[in-house]
Amino acid sequence: MRFLDLAATSAAVGATSGRRAKVELLAEALRALDPAEVPAGAGWLAGELRQRQTGVGWASLRDLPAPAVEPTLTVAAVDAAIDGIAAVRGSGSQARRRALLGALFAAATTAEQRMLVGLFSGELRQGAQGGLLADAVARAAGVPLPAVRRALLLSGDLRTVAVAALQGGAAALAGFGLRVGRPLAPMLAQSAPTVAEALTATGTPAVVDVKLDGIRIQAHRSGADIAVFTRSLDDITARVPEVVAAVRALPARELVLDGEAIGLDATGRPLPFQQTSSRAARRATVANAGIDSAGIDSAGIDSAGTGSAGTGSAGTGSAGTGSDAASAGSGRGVGPTAVAPAVVAAAASTGATVLTPYFFDLLHLDGDDLIDAPGRERWAGLARVVDAGLLVGRVEVDGPEAAAEAFTAALAAGQEGVVVKDPDAAYEAGRRGAAWVKVKPRHTLDLVVLAVEWGSGRRRGWLSNLHLGARDPATGGFVMLGKTFKGLTDEVLRWQTERFLSLAVERGEHVVRVRPEQVVEIAFDGVQTSPRYPGGVALRFARVVRYRDDKSAAEADTIDAVRALRPGSGEPTVG
C-alpha cells in the first residue's frame, strides 16, 4: 500500500466529525493493507508507531528537507526506515539518526511529511483512538465487535488484534485469553466529585480503597519468571527489583497481580509522584535487579488510575497497615502508619527512593483466570496469597457516612484520595466503567490566559490549547504554569476563538499571544516541580472549569499561592 494513501486516510478522518464515517474510512484503509503491513499501518491509523522509542524528538523535526514532488514510499518501506532509525545506537548515533531521518523525509511528499511529523512527535490528533480502531477492525474483518474488544482487552495490543482479525477472523480472536507474562489493559476508574456520588454509581455495600499517587503496576509470575508492567504496558521489570522481590516471595506458582508502587519517606508518608516516577524511570542493571530482563529505553510511567494503601517491605515482611479508627469491614486501615525497616534504612542511609508495591487485585492464580469473577471473590484470593503488609488499605462501607470517614482518613495520611468499588463487579480490563469510581479533592485556581494554540484534528480552525499564567506580585507580570485544552466543549471553543482573536497582540502560525486579561478557573490534581516553566512549578491534569468574566487579571491567583500547593508546603485553600 502507498504511504500516501494511508496519509490521505488519516487526513480525511481528522476532517470528518461523524463516528460512523470515520470507522468506514479506517476500515477501508485496513482492508487495503498487505498482511505484512497491518501491524505498522493499524498502529499509524491510531497515531502510534510500532517502534515505541525512536530517539527522534521535536528538535530533530525542526529542520526538515524539502518534500518530494512525487510519492514513492510504501507502508512497508516507511516501517523499515523507522526500524532503522530506532536501531541506531552508540558513538555517532545522533548524526546517523539525523541522516536516516533526513532521507526518509526527503522521499516523502508534503502530506506524507505531515503524517510522519505527527507520528514521530506523538501528536497525530485525528480523532482515531483505540476505541474507534477497534470498531474499524471489526468492520474491515467482518467479525463481531465484542470479539475484537475482548481480544484487545486481553492482549493490550491493537496491532496484534488487527492482524488476528484480518487474517484469521473470529476463530483467531477466540484464541485470545489471559496469558501469564503478557500484560493486559488495566481496569480504570471513573471520577466523581464526592464519595456519595461514587456510591450512587457503585451501589452499597461497597469497598473503599485508598488511592496512592504512585505508578500502576501489573506483576506476572510463572514459576521463577517474573515480569512487571506499567499502565501503558511497558516492561519495567529491571527497574523495580523491590517489586520483583516481593512477588518472588509469594506462595504461588502462577499469578497476575494488579497494584501500585510508590516511594515512601522514612515516616511512611508518600513521596511526590515525580520522585516515584523518576525512580522507576531509571535504568537498573540485570545484576542489580537479580532477574532475567534487559533494560528498556522508556519506563512508560503513568499515574495510576486506581490506588492502594497500607505499608510494608517489598520481600522483607510486613509492617503497619493503617489507622484503627479508619478500619472497617476487612479490618485493614486506609493509611500507612509504619514502615518496614528496609524502607527506613534505604531512605535514611542512601537517600534513594525505594518503591514499595501494594496490590489491590488478583487476575490469575495457579491456572485459574479470575477476571470474570466478582471482586469479592478475587479479593478473597488476593488476601490468601499476598501478605497483609502488601495489600491495599481497604474498608467495606454501607453508606456515605462511612465512605466519607475513609476518604478523610486517606487524605490525612497524605494519600491522593480513594477509589470506591462494587464488590460484585468483574474485572473489566481496559474499561472505565461505573464499578470503580475515584474521588479526589479538587483544587482550583483562577489563572490568566497568556496565549492560545490553534487546534488540530477535531479542533482544527479553533483556538484550543490555553497557556496559563499566575500573577507575580513582585513584577506585576504573569508566570506560565502550563497548557491545557481539557474540558473545552465545542461551544466554548467557538466562544474562546472569537474572544482571544480580539485580544491578540501577536498572531503566529501555531500560537496566538494575547493581552493577559481573560481569567479562567482551572481544576487540577496537584502541583509538581518543573524546570520546564519559569516559575519552577506546573499543574498536574489541568482542565477548564469555566471562564471568570467576573474577575479581572489583577484578582488572579499568585505564583506564591501555586507554589504553596506543592507537596510538603501545606495545601491552603485557593479558588
Q: What is the CATH number of the domain that holds 353?
A: 3.30.470.30
pLDDT tops 70 at residue 281: no
Asked if 7 and 129 sit in the same domain, the reply is: yes
Residue 47 is part of a domain; what is its CATH number?
1.10.3260.10
Q: Please state the φ and ψ torsions of residue 232, each to the nearest 5 degrees.
A: -90, 10
pLDDT class of 395 with cuts at 50, 70, 90: very high
Q: Please state the φ and ψ torsions of residue 258, each to the nearest 5 degrees.
A: -110, 135
Asked if 329 and 273 sit in the same domain, the reply is: yes
Asked if 122 and 7 sit in the same domain, the reply is: yes
Looking at residue 129, its pLDDT comes to 60
Residue at which a domain ends, from 361, 393, 425:
393
Asked if 304 and 385 sit in the same domain, the reply is: yes
**pLDDT, tens digit (0-9, with 9 covering 90-100), for 292-324:** 222 222 233 333 333 333 333 333 333 333 333
| Average pLDDT of every residue of the chain | 82
Mean pLDDT on 190-196: 88
Q: Is-contact 388 322, C-beta < 8 A?
A: no
Residue 187 in any domain: the answer is: no
pLDDT class of 452 with cuts at 50, 70, 90: very high
Residue 222 in any domain: the answer is: yes
Mean pLDDT on 10-24: 88
Which range marks the domain in which residue 169 is found? 3-174
Looking at residue 274, its pLDDT comes to 59
Angle at CA 209, nearest 5°, toward 253 and 201? 115
Looking at residue 352, its pLDDT comes to 58
For the chain, the domain total comes to 3
Mean pLDDT on 283-295: 32
Asked if 264 and 339 sit in the same domain, the reply is: yes
Angle at CA 246, nearest 5°, toward 241 and 248? 90
Residue at which a domain ends, from 357, 374, 393:
393
DSSP state letter for 59: G
Spatial neighbors of 283 by CB under 8 A, at least 6 apart, are 238, 239, 295, 296
Residue 507 is part of a domain; what is its CATH number?
2.40.50.140
**pLDDT, tens digit (0-9, with 9 covering 90-100), for 161-181:** 999 999 999 999 998 888 899
Between 291 and 154, the higher pLDDT residue: 154
Residue 539 in any domain: the answer is: yes
User: Is 483 in the active site?
Assistant: no
Asked if 229 and 348 sit in the same domain, the reply is: yes
Three-state DSSP class for 312?
strand
pLDDT tops 70 at residue 375: yes
Residue 154 in any domain: the answer is: yes
pTM, two decimal places:
0.61
Of 211, 421, 440, 483, which is the active-site residue?
Answer: 211
pLDDT tops 60 at residue 412: yes
Spatial separation of the C-alpha atoms in residues 563 and 92, rounded to whole Å: 41
- Whether the bond into 205 is cis, omega within 30 of 0: yes
Mean pLDDT on 528-538: 83
Three-state DSSP class for 154?
helix
Looking at residue 231, its pLDDT comes to 86
Three-state DSSP class for 365?
strand
Residue 256 in any domain: the answer is: yes
Q: Is-contact 307 212, C-beta < 8 A?
A: yes
Spatial separation of the C-alpha atoms in residues 471 and 503, rounded to whole Å: 18
Looking at residue 574, its pLDDT comes to 38
Most confident of 27-36, 149-158, 432-441: 27-36
**DSSP-derived pairing of the beta strands 511-514 and 504-507:** antiparallel
Looking at residue 325, its pLDDT comes to 27
Asked if 374 and 282 sit in the same domain, the reply is: yes
Nearest to 282 by CA among 186, 346, 354: 354
